[in-house]
Structure 1
Amino acid sequence: MSVRNPPRLLVFAAMSLLRDETSTISSLEYLPTELFPPLFMAAFYGRRRETLKAMVQAWPFARLPLGGLMQKPHKRTLQAVLDGLHVLLAQKVHPRRCKLRVLDLRNTGQKFWSMWSGARAHTCSSSWMAPVAEDRSRTEQPLAPLAVFIDLHLKKRTLGKFLTYLIRWVEQRKGSIHLCCKKLKIVSMPKENIKKVLSMMQLDCVQEVEVNCTWKLSTLAVYAPHLGKMRNVQRLLLSPIHVSAFKEQDHQYLLQFTSQILRLQYLRDLHMESPYFLEGHLNQMLRCLMTPLDNLSITNCLLTESDFTHLFQCPNICHLKGLNLSGVTLTNFSPELLQVLLEKVAATLQELYLNLCGIIDSQLETILPVLSHCSQLRVLSMCGNLLSMAVMERLLRHTDRLPGLSLEIYPAPRESYSSQGVLHRETLTHLHAELLEILRELGHPRSIWISPSPCPHCGDDICDHIKPIV
C-alpha cells in the first residue's frame, strides 16, 4: 500500500477485530455502525464465513450490496451470506440491530464500499445506503419479505452452480423472499430452465427484457403470459422470431403475444429484430401500445405500405426520440409514406437509422425538406443505400442546418461502384475530396463517415472502423 495513501483507522480496526473471530461475532450487537462495512470487506476477502454469516444478521443498513464486492459470482461466499439470512428469516421478529431489507447481487454498490474503505473521499448520496435510525424504544420488528436483486443473463444450457443454488434457496423460502430482477436477458437456455427461473421471480420488478435467441412464434406465445406480468417493463428487445410461412394458427399466437403488450403500461423502448410475423400485421401490435414510445426499432424484415400507414397513424409514436428501420426495404414504397412519418416525429426525433433500406435518390429528395426540420436530430445513419453524389451533396446542405447533429454515417456515392457493384477505391478517394470541399464551403465544423457496402476490409454491410471526413 502506498505511503501517501495509508489505510484508514477503520480498516486497521476491522483487520484487528478479525484476529479474534469469536469475540468479534459476540460483540456485533455493540459494534459501531462505521465498523460494519470495513469489517465485512475484511471478512469477505479473508473468506471468514462465520463472521459473514453473523454480520448479515446484525447488518445496520437497509441494503447489502454484495455484488459490488464480487468480481464474479462465488458460490461459497454466497452460501455464507444466505446461511446468515436463513437464521434471520427463521426468527419471528427482526433483531433490533438488523435493518437489512435488500440483498443486492448486482454489480453495483462500489461507491458504498469505496467510501467506507477510504478509497474515495466523498459521502454516499444514495439514501438506501444510509444506516436506518435505530428505535431504542422497540426491540422487536415484524419481519417483512427480503428482496434479493440480481441481473439475470441466461446464456448457457445449465443454470450454473451459483444460480442453481440461489434459485433452490429462494424456492425453499418463497413466502419470505422476493427475487427481483430489473434486467433480464435470455440468450440460450432450455425452456424448462427459463420457466423455472421465471416462476421464482417477482415479475413486476422487471424493467428491461432482452430475448436474443431465435424463437418460433409459438414459443413467444408460450412466454407471453410471463411478459404480461412484467407490467413495469420499460424496454423490450426481441431478436428474430422464426415464421416460415404465416398460417392460420399463427394468428392466434400473434394475438396471444400482442394481448400481453396491453399490460405493459410503462413501455418506452420497443426493439424488434427480424420480426417476420409483423408483415401485414403491424397494426395488431401498434394498437396494443398503451403509452407513447421514446424509441422504436423494427429492423431486418418486410413491411407493407399498409403497415407503414398504420405506423405514422399510431398516436403513440408521435414523440419518438429514436427510430430505427434498418433492413426494412423501402425501395418500392411511395416516398410520401416516409415523409409523413418523419413529419409526425420531427419535433422530438434525436436518432434516425435508415441503413440498408434500399432508399433511392427520388425517395431521399422527397424527405430532405422534412429532414432539415428535425431540429433535435443528433444521429443520422443511412449506410447501404444507393445514392448519387448529387443527392448526397443536397443531403449535406440540408443537414447543415441541424445544430445538434453530431454523428452522420452515409453510404459511398453510387459513382464509387462499377456497373457490377465493385467498389473503385480511387474514385471513392476522389469523391471524398469533393465532399470535403462541400463541407468547407458550408463553413460549419462537422465530421461525416462514408461507409462502403460491403466494406472492402471486413466485408460487413456496415463497418465501424472507417475514418471520418472532417
Structure 2
Amino acid sequence: MSAYNPPRLVTLAAMSLVRDEALAISSLEYLPMELYPPLFMAAFSGRHSETLKAMVQAWPFARLPLGGLMQKPHQGTIQAVLGGLDVLLAQKVHPRRCKLQVLDLRNTGQDFWNIWSGDMDHVSATSLMAPVAKDMSRTKHPLTPLVEVELSLTQELSTLAKFASLLGKMRNVQRLLLSPIHGSVAEEQDHQALVQFTSQILRLQYLQDLRMEGPAFLEGRLNQMLRCLKTSLYNISITNCLLTESDLIHLSQCRNICQLKGLNLNGVTLTNFRPELLQVLLEKVAGTLEELDLNLCGIMDSHLMAILPVLSSCSQLRVLSICGNLISMAVLERLLRHTDGLSDLSLELYPAPRESYSSLGILHQERLAQLKAELWEILTDLGRPRKIWVSPSPCPHCGDDMCNHLSPNA
C-alpha cells in the first residue's frame, strides 16, 4: 500500500492564490517570504504572465534560479520574467521588498524549488540563500541584476530560433556560458536558426565574463562580438573551435580587454598563425592576467619563444597551462627561467618535452623520466620552490586535458 503524500499547505495556498491574478499581484507586498517560491512555481507552470512579471519586481531573495524550472521552457513565461526585469531596471526607486541581484538561467537551481515543493526537508530562507553571498559580494551596485546564462541544447538548432529574440533583450547580461550547440549548419532550417541566434549574441553589450565551448558560428566573427561591448571583459574562454588569424588580431586590439584576468583558448589551433600575434595579445593584458590556458593549441617552439619575454612581465599570473603542445626541452627550460620571477605563479602545467617521443609519436617513459629529472635540477638551481606538472596530455590519472593532480616536483 503506497503512502499518500498530500501537498503542503504553503503549496495549496499558492495554487489557490494564483487563480486570481489580480489578487495575487496586489498581495505581493504583504506575502511572507516563504510563499514567494511556491507562488512563483504555480505561476510559472500555469503561465500566468502578469503574476510572473510582478513577482520579479518584488522578489525578496538575492537570486532567482529560473533555470531550475526551464526543463520545458515556454516563450511567454520567459518573456514575462524578462519583462519584469526590464521594468525593475528602469525604475529609479526600487520596490521596498526587492532584493534581486542574480537572474540565474543555468539548470543548477533545482534544489531551491524542491525545498519549497516538499521534495526536500524544509530549511530557513536565510540558509537557503547563503550560497549567493559570494555573488552578492561581487556586485558593485545594489539591485543591479547580474544575469548568468548557460545554454546547453541537444536538439537541432531550430529549437534555438524560438528563444533567440529573448536573448537579445537581455541587455544587462554580464556572464554568458555557452555549451556546444548540436545541429547541422548545412541544413537550411538550422542555418537560419544559427543566424538568428548569432545576431542576438552580438547585441550583448555589457559582457564581463564570456565562456563559449565549441562556438562554430564564431569563426571570422569575433570582431562583431567585441566591437559592441561597452564594458571591460574580465574573462574570455573560447575553446574547441576554429578562429581565423584576423579573429586573434581583433582580440588583441580590443580596448575592452585591458583588465582581463582569465584567457582560455584551449583547443583553438594556432599552429599556422604568426607567432607574434600571441605576443601582441599578451602584451595588452600583461598587467592584469591571472590565468592563461593554451592547452592543445598546436603551439610550437616558435610561438612559445615569441611570448617568453612578455610572460615574464605578467606579474599577476597565477596559473599557466600549455599541455598538449609540441615543445622542445630547450624551450621548456627557457620558459622555467623566464617565469622564475613570477611570485604569484602557483600552478604550472606543461607538456612532455618533444624529445620524450619517438619519430612515430610513441612516448618513451624512461626518456621522459630523465627529462623530468633535468627539469628538477633546473628548478633546484633557480632556488624558488615551485609546483609544476610535466606530463603527456591527457592526464594519465583522470583522462582530462587539464590535470589537477599536482606533483611537488617535476
**Counterpart in 1 of 2:8?**
76
1:383 to 2:316 alignment: no
CA distance in structure 2 between the partners assigned to 1:84 and 1:240 by the alignment: 41
Question: Residue 366 of structure 1: CA displacement?
Answer: 0.6
Matches within 5 A, 1:178-193: 178=56, 182-183=64-65, 185=67, 189=71, 193=73
Q: 1:365 aligns with which of 286, 305, 308?
A: 305
Give the match's secondary structure for 1:296.
Answer: strand
Question: Residue 233 of structure 1: CA displacement?
Answer: 1.8
Paired residues in the alignment total 341
Residues 403, 387 of structure 1: CA spacing in aligned structure 2 closer, same or farther, 3 A cutoff?
same
Question: Residue 167 of structure 1: CA displacement?
Answer: 2.4
Moved more, 275-284 or 329-338: 275-284
Question: Residue 85 of structure 1: CA displacement?
Answer: 6.1
**Counterpart in 2 of 1:307?**
247
Question: Residue 105 of structure 1: CA displacement?
Answer: 4.9
Counterpart of 2:347, as a letter, is: L
**Counterpart in 2 of 1:395?**
335
Residues 177, 391 of structure 1: CA spacing in aligned structure 2 closer, same or farther, 3 A cutoff?
same
1:90 to 2:23 alignment: yes
CA distance in structure 2 between the partners assigned to 1:102 and 1:256 by the alignment: 40
Residues 175, 455 of structure 1: CA spacing in aligned structure 2 closer, same or farther, 3 A cutoff?
closer
- The answer to whether the Cα contact below 8 Å between 1:243 and 1:277 also exists between their aligned partners in 2 is no
- The answer to whether the Cα contact below 8 Å between 1:184 and 1:210 also exists between their aligned partners in 2 is no
Question: Residue 418 of structure 1: CA displacement?
Answer: 2.0
Moved more, 266-275 or 242-251: 242-251
CA distance in structure 1 between the partners assigned to 2:289 and 2:406 by the alignment: 26
**Counterpart in 2 of 1:8?**
none
Higher relative contact order (CA 8 A, sep 6+): 2
1:321 to 2:261 alignment: yes
1:279 to 2:159 alignment: no
Residues 262, 417 of structure 1: CA spacing in aligned structure 2 closer, same or farther, 3 A cutoff?
closer
CA distance in structure 1 between the partners assigned to 2:36 and 2:24 by the alignment: 21
- The answer to whether the Cα contact below 8 Å between 1:342 and 1:371 also exists between their aligned partners in 2 is yes
Residues 445, 329 of structure 1: CA spacing in aligned structure 2 closer, same or farther, 3 A cutoff?
same
CA distance in structure 2 between the partners assigned to 1:91 and 1:220 by the alignment: 32
Question: Residue 240 of structure 1: CA displacement?
Answer: 1.4
In our comparison, the structure showing a higher alpha carbon Rg is 1
Residues 386, 92 of structure 1: CA spacing in aligned structure 2 closer, same or farther, 3 A cutoff?
closer
1:177 to 2:92 alignment: no
Counterpart of 1:437, as a letter, is: E
- Normalised by the length of structure 2, the TM-score is 0.71
Q: Unpaired segments of 5 or more residues in structure 2?
A: 86-101, 104-146
Q: 2:209 aligns with which of 235, 259, 269?
A: 269
Question: Residue 178 of structure 1: CA displacement?
Answer: 3.0
- Normalised by the length of structure 1, the TM-score is 0.63
Residues 93, 343 of structure 1: CA spacing in aligned structure 2 closer, same or farther, 3 A cutoff?
closer
**Counterpart in 2 of 1:198?**
78
Q: Unpaired segments of 5 or more residues in structure 1?
A: 1-48, 50-73, 107-145, 149-162
Residues 328, 95 of structure 1: CA spacing in aligned structure 2 closer, same or farther, 3 A cutoff?
closer
Question: Residue 290 of structure 1: CA displacement?
Answer: 2.7
CA distance in structure 2 between the partners assigned to 1:438 and 1:402 by the alignment: 16
CA distance in structure 2 between the partners assigned to 1:92 and 1:210 by the alignment: 30
CA distance in structure 1 between the partners assigned to 2:16 and 2:68 by the alignment: 31
Q: 2:380 aligns with which of 440, 446, 470?
A: 440
CA distance in structure 2 between the partners assigned to 1:247 and 1:414 by the alignment: 42
**Counterpart in 1 of 2:228?**
288
**Counterpart in 2 of 1:158?**
none
- The answer to whether the Cα contact below 8 Å between 1:187 and 1:213 also exists between their aligned partners in 2 is no
CA distance in structure 2 between the partners assigned to 1:223 and 1:400 by the alignment: 49
Give the match's secondary structure for 1:178.
Answer: helix
Residues 281, 457 of structure 1: CA spacing in aligned structure 2 closer, same or farther, 3 A cutoff?
same
Counterpart of 1:167, as a letter, is: S
**Counterpart in 1 of 2:180?**
240
Question: Residue 458 of structure 1: CA displacement?
Answer: 4.9
Percent of matched pairs sharing the same residue: 60
Counterpart of 1:201, as a letter, is: V
Residues 312, 102 of structure 1: CA spacing in aligned structure 2 closer, same or farther, 3 A cutoff?
farther
Question: Residue 357 of structure 1: CA displacement?
Answer: 0.2
- The answer to whether the Cα contact below 8 Å between 1:451 and 1:466 also exists between their aligned partners in 2 is no
- The answer to whether the Cα contact below 8 Å between 1:183 and 1:208 also exists between their aligned partners in 2 is no
Counterpart of 1:260, as a letter, is: Q
Give the match's secondary structure for 2:197.
Answer: helix
**Counterpart in 2 of 1:168?**
46
Counterpart of 1:76, as a letter, is: R
- The answer to whether the Cα contact below 8 Å between 1:224 and 1:257 also exists between their aligned partners in 2 is yes
CA distance in structure 2 between the partners assigned to 1:241 and 1:95 by the alignment: 39
- Residues 262-285 of structure 1, C-alpha deviation per residue, up to 9 Å, x if partnerless? 653432101110111111222222
CA RMSD of aligned residues (A): 3.7
Residues 90, 219 of structure 1: CA spacing in aligned structure 2 closer, same or farther, 3 A cutoff?
closer
